[in-house]
Amino acid sequence: MATSPNRRQRIIQFTTPKVSDLVVVETVDASRHVSSSDSAVGNLDDQGDPNVPYGTLHPNQSKFPKFKLALIKNADTSQGQFQLWYYIKDRENQDDYNWEYQAAGVGSSRYDSVVRTYVLLRSTYNESDPLPNTAMPITESDPFDKTDGHVLFEKKQVRSGDETLDSLYVVEQRVFVKKVPIRRVDIDPQFSEALRSKETIYYKDEVLKKTTEFKEPDDTMSVLDPSVTVDQAVKKGHLQADIWGTFRQADTAGTSYFGIFREVRQLSNNWFAVAEREIIKTQKSNAAATEGLVKEYYTTQDYTWPAVLDTSNGGPVDAESWQRKENKGADTVVYPVYKKDTYRGPTKMLVQLFWKETPYAEPVSDSFTSTNLQQLVPMLPKPVQYKTPIVSLSIKPTLHPDISLTATSGTNHPIYEYTGSTRVFTATGDHTDWPSSIVISDSQKPFRGGYLRERLTAFPPQNT
């Protein structure tokens, strides 16, 4: 029995793991009613509509509901009498089978990612749906869990390469990443301390938070005051308080401070990478002498210790009297007595390094504080010059307390009548002897976003 030339020959193709995702292909005789290009499609349609575009519903909606005409092409190349009409429908519940997983690794993405591919109707495509940073949809058939925290990172639209789909649909790949901090630990090359760092990705509308303590996996975080999104923070830059630069934060144990530095780089129009890193570790202490201490160590440096006059046993000078002949008086010679002579040479030194995120204030006290530089109290030796017709004394700069020198002519001086003089030489400031230790330098300089303070203490030489 011959087949009617008007009868549609139907082929069913299965395009995905879901059986309901069909492509209905029908063979139609195009020769009988096509008299011009304007009427070609209309004459071939079972409903008689002369202007049937792609996207027209299948004429048999009871059997093929929601199927739409997507493509017409010749079934034979010799005469072009028969055409293949392709009907497809929108894919629903595509998340059941459309994922590809890639773990972070060397030479690949830094984040675990899931790529989901969607076939979307061009006429209803909406670039803003879904928005970036939206949680990834999870189905019962997925090996993923909501606690994984995958969010939409980027979308890419491409042609499918399938001529059946390209006229009505666009293929969109959605990349979802597991938004976790990327961490590392570095050794401070100068102070040999382990310093932690991490990089966190932020969507532009997310409120920026600062890490106040690194405690993997649950760091201590706090919202900036005033709160600001990462996009706003970048636009405001250094004008926004408490965003960039360095701050100091105590750890849970309360024994250490870490200087933490924060910076940002823009990855795309929507995404930013915020890097936070510990830049220096300092002590946290109730004792001012160790608050903010980074490191201390002993070394040896050349230093000068001045001579010290011996004021015990009658005074700082000795005198010798030279009697003249014939009982014509005497001449007196005096010379200093030193408790310690001048020392120039290697001296034991204690080097202390402190760090603070803001500059240390100017010195206001000779006591050590964790907020101000220390006023130095140097040794200030003074010379002693005492001259009379009777006696003359010249002592090099020394340390000494208040001293009083007296000279008299006596009652039998061959030249001078009886007379005398007394002169007082005041003490040499706060130091009349070598101190057990002395701060000889207290300075600061910019360092790693804050200020590094160096305090140098000298200790006197022994057995001198």
pLDDT digits (tens, 9 = 90+) for 99-121: 888 888 776 678 899 998 888 88
Query: Structure tokens of 251?
Result: 């750890």
**323 with 316: CB under 8 angstroms?**
no
- The CA distance from 285 to 272, in Å, is 37
**449 with 245: CB under 8 angstroms?**
yes
**221 or 199, which is more confident:** 199
- The CA distance from 255 to 314, in Å, is 54
**309 with 338: CB under 8 angstroms?**
yes
pLDDT of residue 460 exceeding 90, the answer is yes
Structural domain spans, the chain: 9-88, 94-178, 184-283, 293-459
Q: For 372-417, write each residue's pLDDT tens digit.
A: 999 999 999 999 999 888 888 899 999 999 998 888 877 777 778 7
The pLDDT of residue 37 is 46
Closest to 191 in 3D by CA, of 349, 301, 297: 297
Q: For 321-340, write each residue's pLDDT tens digit.
A: 888 777 777 778 888 999 99
Residue entry with tokens 């009868």: 7
Closest to 297 in 3D by CA, of 63, 457, 422: 457
Closest to 392 in 3D by CA, of 407, 410, 403: 407
- DSSP code string of 404-425: EEEEE--SS-SSSPS-EEEEEE
